Chain A
Amino acid sequence: MATLEVTLKYRPPLARFAFRVITVLAPFWLGIPFLLFILPLIGLGGLLSHLFGNQELPLGSSVLMMCGPGIIVGLTAWLFARDNKVVISQQGICMPSSLNLQLWGRRNRPWYDLKRINFSTTGLRFSQYGLKDENILHKSLVMEFSSGGAVRIDLKDLALTEVEQLILAIETFAPSVENHNLLSTAKQQLGETLKIAGIKSYTNLWEDELRYRYSSTTFIPLPPGQKLQDGDIKVIRQLGFGGLSAIYLVQRSGKDLYVLKESTVPADVEDEMKSKAIEMFDREAKILAQLNHPKIAKVYDHFVENNRHYLLLQYIHGEDLRQHVKEHGAMNQDAVIASAVQVAEILEYLHNGNPAVIHRDLTPENLVINDNGKIVLIDFGAANEFLQTATGTLVGKHAYIAPEQFRGKATTGSDLYSLGGTIHFLLTGSDPIALSSSSPRKVVPSISPELDELVIALTKASVKERVESASEAKRRLEALLPIARGLT
Chain B
Amino acid sequence: METNENSIQSVHLSTADSRNSSRRSFLNKKHDPIKLSPSFWKEGQSKLTTVGYFAVVSLLLYLCLYVTGLATPVVSIILSLGVFLQFLAFSSFGLFFGTVGWLVLFYPLAIGIVVAALYNWLNTFTQADTIEIHENGISVGWGRRSMFSVNWNDIGSVFLFCPHHTMLPRKWLVGFGTQGSRPVTIKLPVFGNKGMVLLETLKNKVPWMAIDPALIELWEPAIADSHTELWLKSLSNAPKGSELMPLFPGEKLRDGKYTIINRLGVGGQGTAYLAAMKQANSQTEEVSQGYLTLEERFLHLEQGGDVTGSGPAVTAEDDINNIPTDGVSESEQAKEHGAENELTSNFETHETGNDRAHSIADPEEPPPVKIVTDTNSVVIKETIFPVYVDPRIRTEAEDRFKLEVELLNRLRHPQIVSLNEAFIEGPRGYLVLEYIEGDSLRKVVRKDGALPESEVLDLAIQMADILQYLHTLKPAVIHRDFTPDNLMLGNECRVKLIDFNVAREVESTRTATVVGKHAYLPPEQFRGDACTQSDIYAFGATLFFLLVGEDPEPISQSFPAEANSAVSPGMNQIVAKCTDTELTTRYPFAEDIGADLRALLELKS
Q: B440 — nearest CB in chain A belongs to which residue?
A: A268
Bound CA span A171–B238, Å: 10
Check if A2 sits within 8 Å of B553, measured CB to CB: no
Check if A270 sits within 8 Å of B318, measured CB to CB: no
Nearest 10 A/B pairs, CB to CB: A243-B512, A105-B49, A268-B265, A106-B44, A254-B210, A92-B167, A90-B234, A108-B44, A214-B386, A2-B222
For B107, list chain A residues within 8 Å (CB): 68-69
Q: B99 — nearest CB in chain A belongs to which residue?
A: A68
* CB of A107, distance to nearest CB on chain B (Å): 5
Residue A89, interface by CB 8 Å: yes
Interface residues of chain A: helix, strand, loop or mixed (majority) = mixed
Bound CA span A403–B553, Å: 12
Residue A318, interface by CB 8 Å: yes
Known: A3-B230, A393-B518. A218 touches B268 (CB 8 A): yes
Known: A106-B49, A223-B244. A255 touches B210 (CB 8 A): yes
* CB of A350, distance to nearest CB on chain B (Å): 22
| Residue picked from A2, A174, A247, most chain B C-beta under 10 Å | A2
Check if A108 sits within 8 Å of B240, measured CB to CB: no
Check if A238 sits within 8 Å of B388, measured CB to CB: yes
For B386, list chain A residues within 8 Å (CB): 214-217, 241-242
Identify the A interface with B (CB < 8 A).
1-5, 37, 40-41, 44, 47, 51, 61, 64-65, 68-69, 71-72, 87, 89-94, 97, 100, 103, 105-113, 147, 168, 171-176, 180, 184, 187, 202, 205-207, 209-220, 222-224, 226, 236-247, 249, 251, 254-257, 264, 266-268, 270-271, 306-308, 317-319, 323, 327-328, 365, 371, 388, 391-398, 403, 406-408, 431, 433-435
A-B contact pairs, 26 of them (CB 8 A): A3-B218, A4-B233, A5-B170, A64-B98, A68-B102, A69-B103, A89-B169, A108-B43, A109-B44, A173-B234, A217-B386, A218-B268, A218-B269, A218-B271, A220-B384, A223-B313, A226-B313, A238-B388, A239-B510, A254-B209, A257-B216, A267-B265, A267-B323, A319-B223, A406-B526, A407-B556
Check if A268 sits within 8 Å of B384, measured CB to CB: no
Known: A106-B49, A244-B512. A407 touches B167 (CB 8 A): no
For A403, list chain B residues within 8 Å (CB): 555
For A205, list chain B residues within 8 Å (CB): 228
Bound CA span A407–B526, Å: 12
Check if B317 sits within 8 Å of A307, measured CB to CB: yes
Given contacts A91-B167, A105-B49, A267-B325, 19 further A-B contacts (CB under 8 A): A2-B229, A37-B99, A61-B102, A72-B103, A90-B234, A100-B49, A110-B167, A236-B236, A237-B236, A244-B514, A251-B216, A257-B216, A266-B266, A317-B220, A391-B517, A393-B268, A394-B513, A394-B521, A395-B512
Check if A306 sits within 8 Å of B513, measured CB to CB: no
Check if B527 sits within 8 Å of A257, measured CB to CB: no
Bound CA span A247–B313, Å: 16
Q: A92 — nearest CB in chain B belongs to which residue?
A: B167
* CB of B439, distance to nearest CB on chain A (Å): 12
Q: A108 — nearest CB in chain B belongs to which residue?
A: B44
For B244, list chain A residues within 8 Å (CB): 220, 223
For A2, list chain B residues within 8 Å (CB): 217-223, 229-230, 233
For A365, list chain B residues within 8 Å (CB): 510
Check if A434 sits within 8 Å of B526, measured CB to CB: yes
Q: A109 — nearest CB in chain B belongs to which residue?
A: B44
What number of B residues sit within 8 Å (CB to CB) of A? 130
Known: A100-B46, A268-B324, A365-B510. A108 touches B228 (CB 8 A): no
Residue B237, interface by CB 8 Å: yes
Residue B320, interface by CB 8 Å: yes
Bound CA span A139–B374, Å: 59
Check if A408 sits within 8 Å of B554, measured CB to CB: yes
Residue B188, interface by CB 8 Å: yes
Known: A105-B49, A251-B213, A319-B229. A407 touches B553 (CB 8 A): yes
Bound CA span A218–B230, Å: 28
Residue B346, interface by CB 8 Å: no
For B226, list chain A residues within 8 Å (CB): 319, 323, 327
Check if A267 sits within 8 Å of B266, measured CB to CB: yes
* CB of B336, distance to nearest CB on chain A (Å): 12
Residue B30, interface by CB 8 Å: no
Check if B227 sits within 8 Å of A202, measured CB to CB: yes
Identify the B interface with A (CB < 8 A).
42-46, 48-49, 52, 83, 86, 89, 95, 98-99, 102-103, 105-107, 110, 113, 157, 162, 164-170, 188-189, 203, 209-211, 213, 216-223, 225-240, 243-246, 263-271, 310-318, 320-321, 323-327, 383-386, 388-393, 396-397, 400-401, 429, 446, 506-519, 521, 523, 526-528, 551, 553-556
Bound CA span A107–B313, Å: 38
Bound CA span A180–B239, Å: 14
For B83, list chain A residues within 8 Å (CB): 51
* CB of B515, distance to nearest CB on chain A (Å): 5
Check if B511 sits within 8 Å of A246, measured CB to CB: yes
Select A223's contact among B49, B243, B326, beta carbons within 8 Å. Answer: B243
Bound CA span A71–B98, Å: 13
Bound CA span A393–B189, Å: 50
Bound CA span A317–B229, Å: 10
Known: A5-B168, A93-B167, A216-B384. A105 touches B46 (CB 8 A): yes
Bound CA span A454–B71, Å: 95
Bound CA span A397–B203, Å: 38
Check if B225 sits within 8 Å of A307, measured CB to CB: no
Select B508's contact among A37, A209, A212, A435, beta carbons within 8 Å. Answer: A212
Check if B511 sits within 8 Å of A242, measured CB to CB: yes
Select B89's contact among A1, A41, A247, A254, beta carbons within 8 Å. Answer: A41
Check if A213 sits within 8 Å of B509, measured CB to CB: yes
Check if B103 sits within 8 Å of A398, measured CB to CB: no
Check if A318 sits within 8 Å of B223, measured CB to CB: yes
For B323, list chain A residues within 8 Å (CB): 267
Known: A3-B169, A37-B95, A257-B216. A216 touches B383 (CB 8 A): yes
* CB of B115, distance to nearest CB on chain A (Å): 14
